[in-house]
A and B are shown apart, each in its own frame.
Chain A
Amino acid sequence: MNLWNDPVHVIADWLGGLLGGLGMPPAVATVLLALLGIVILASALMVLDIFLVWVERKVVARFQDRLGPNRVGPYGLIQPFADIIKLIIKEDITPDGADKPVFNLAPLLSLMSVLILWAIIPLAPLVLGVDLNVSLLYLVAAGAIGTLSIIMAGWASNNKYALIGAYRQVAVLVSFEIPMITTLLIPTVLSGSMGLKAITESQGIWYVVLSPLGAFIFLTAAIAELGRTPFDMNEAESEIVAGFHIEYTGMKFGLFYAGELLHAFTFGGFLAILFFGGYRLFGLENLGPAVAAAILLAKAMIGYWVIMWIKYTLMRIRIDHMLTFNWKFLTPLAFTLLMVTALVNALLRDSGTGVYVAGMFFSNVLLGWIALEIARRHARSARDKHERTGPVLETVRRQA
């Protein structure tokens, strides 16, 4: 055990020895060190968050053929700090009739639900908060707290748009949670564990190769849970202005915004851990924890970029289309995929690696093709029916 290979434990031991030397009981020192670790991790993430604001603004600018922030500092890098100063000195408004404690608690919970996710993310083999054996359920539980914060914000604001935004978010989250949990079970089936470290360690072959469809469904459900375009029902600017955070000003809005960006980045990280090998990259991770953490963060950044790419390319889907898409396409597909994955895994596990990988990959491709074919036929028959009855009749019939 040395500083290069296991920095966290070496520093913790050293600090623990130091505190013990000062006459502090070991139990108190342990708690103090744990608190210190939490504060350092959370602070590092908040600083990263400031950088993410710049990344997001630069990337959206490139997608929209603009330059983005480029005035303050080199490449506009100081711009987020100017934004923060602006947010802090803005007037903090609490709307009339708002439920004050709930109103103030909601932004905190929103950011917290994202920060607690990093407790289970293995940055390197020995640099991780806790190696929970139910990590994947923990991910879902944290998402539940995030939903709770949005409901609280929507209800406490005493604003109809905010309430509608909260309703929509619950509808979306309750439905997309199902394919999400189902696809979370695919890495579990493949690795035989629910711990993120074990899942990372077992990915000699990235799970995206074994289950490309699973990675796709996970990404879709993740974007829905993030509430980003094309699933941004909860804040749809053109329909309900800003949804649940319409009444928030200054730094309270800032917390929601920071939470959203960090959430997207975090899900990029989970995509990397579950399907793209986590901190592993052709043995480079053995060079040291710093390299491993850099690999994971780079992969998370690529995942984040994909989420941004989708956000700024696609338009918003209507809410009924979106729920239909989830319940009639994504959910059955996810369940079938889980069954097929478990079956193929059990049948081919003992045959050679080549056969196993090919079997897994092509069963996924075949399943995806069948699903698309069914969806295509269904869409065609719906379109034919629509042409026979005509758009006016269709509307009348639906209203009747």
Chain B
Amino acid sequence: MTIAQIIFLIVAAGTLASAVIVVTTPNLVHAALWLVSTLFGVAVVFALLNAGFLAVVQVVVYIGAIAILFIFAVMLTRREQRDFGQQMNRFWWLGALVAVATFAGLAAMLQSWSGLSGAAAADLPIGFDSVGALGDALISPQAFVLPFEVASVLLLAALVGAVYVAFNRK
């Protein structure tokens, strides 16, 4: 077992454990903080896969924006966020069923994927500019320029909408 594999196992175990705590802890702010820990674990996995850009974006977007917004919204609610009621309702088996079915579907899909059974992908050559390649792909007509532009227009529309909603008419 290589060092990278040991690090991966530790990080994966930590990520999964924090993900479980997110749904089991009764304290909402603690749940949000464990969610941060989970997202950070995912970022570390990205970094282990040589996807530095995705790792950093994961931290910026998910921890820096989304998780902080979560915590902010939770803090605006009552001080005592503990829910002393039951954490499960009577449809818990339905949720479990959906979760198991999703896991089975993903597992079946991964079984047929060649990357799982075949040899490990070769390491990227030293000095390979993955960010540059990603940028080229995003604006190249042969690659992803259309989805990229559609997403941009969508975000712009959301931005305009937000400004319109917040606009204070005199």
Q: Interface on A for B, CB 8 Å cutoff?
A: 27-28, 30-31, 99, 102, 132-134, 137-138, 140-141, 143-145, 147-148, 151-152, 155, 163, 166-167, 170, 174, 177, 194
Determine if A143 and B64 form an interchain contact, defined as CB atoms under 8 angstroms apart.
yes
23 contacts between A and B (CB under 8 A): A27-B3, A31-B3, A99-B30, A102-B33, A132-B56, A133-B52, A134-B52, A137-B53, A143-B64, A144-B59, A144-B64, A144-B65, A147-B64, A147-B68, A152-B33, A155-B29, A155-B71, A155-B75, A163-B75, A166-B75, A167-B75, A174-B68, A177-B64
- In angstroms, how far is the closest chain A Cβ from the Cβ of B44? 12
Determine if A30 and B56 form an interchain contact, defined as CB atoms under 8 angstroms apart.
no
B22 within 8 A of A: no
Which residues of B lie under 8 Å from residue A166 when comparing CB positions?
Answer: 75
Q: When the two chains form the complex, which single residue of A134, A152, A170, A174 contacts B53, counting CB atoms closer than 8 Å?
A: A134
Interface core residue of B30, B56, B130, B131 (most chain A CB under 10 Å): B56
Determine if A145 and B3 form an interchain contact, defined as CB atoms under 8 angstroms apart.
no
* B50-62 interface code vs A (CB 8 A; 1 in, 0 out): 0011001101100
Determine if B36 and A148 form an interchain contact, defined as CB atoms under 8 angstroms apart.
yes
- In angstroms, how far is the closest chain A Cβ from the Cβ of B100? 33
Q: When the two chains form the complex, which single residue of B3, B67, B75, B129 contacts A133, counting CB atoms closer than 8 Å?
A: B129
Determine if B64 and A133 form an interchain contact, defined as CB atoms under 8 angstroms apart.
no
CA distance A177 to B130 in the complex (A): 25
B42 within 8 A of A: no
B148 within 8 A of A: no
Per DSSP, are chain A's interface residues mostly helix, strand or loop, or mixed?
Answer: helix
Number of interchain pairs (Cβ within 8 Å): 68
- In angstroms, how far is the closest chain A Cβ from the Cβ of B57? 7
- In angstroms, how far is the closest chain B Cβ from the Cβ of A117? 13
B63 within 8 A of A: yes
Determine if A170 and B68 form an interchain contact, defined as CB atoms under 8 angstroms apart.
yes
Q: When the two chains form the complex, which single residue of B60, B63, B130 contacts A148, counting CB atoms closer than 8 Å?
A: B63
Determine if A141 and B63 form an interchain contact, defined as CB atoms under 8 angstroms apart.
yes
CA distance A174 to B71 in the complex (A): 14
Which residues of A lie under 8 Å from residue B60 when comparing CB positions?
Answer: 137, 140-141, 144
CA distance A231 to B6 in the complex (A): 44
- In angstroms, how far is the closest chain A Cβ from the Cβ of B23? 19
Determine if B72 and A137 form an interchain contact, defined as CB atoms under 8 angstroms apart.
no
User: Who on chain B is nearest to A102 by CB?
Assistant: B33
Interface core residue of A134, A140, A143, A177 (most chain B CB under 10 Å): A134
Which residues of A lie under 8 Å from residue B57 when comparing CB positions?
Answer: 137
B112 within 8 A of A: no
- In angstroms, how far is the closest chain B Cβ from the Cβ of A164? 11
Knowing A141-B59, A148-B63 are in contact, say whether A133-B131 is a contact too (CB < 8 A): yes
Determine if B75 and A151 form an interchain contact, defined as CB atoms under 8 angstroms apart.
yes
B87 within 8 A of A: no
B142 within 8 A of A: no
B2 within 8 A of A: yes
Knowing A141-B59, A144-B64 are in contact, say whether A134-B33 is a contact too (CB < 8 A): no
Which residues of B lie under 8 Å from residue A140 when comparing CB positions?
Answer: 60, 64
User: Who on chain B is nearest to A101 by CB?
Assistant: B30
CA distance A133 to B55 in the complex (A): 12
- Extra inter-chain contacts (12) besides given A137-B57, A167-B75, CB under 8 Å: A99-B30, A102-B29, A102-B30, A102-B33, A133-B130, A134-B56, A144-B65, A148-B36, A155-B75, A167-B72, A174-B65, A174-B68
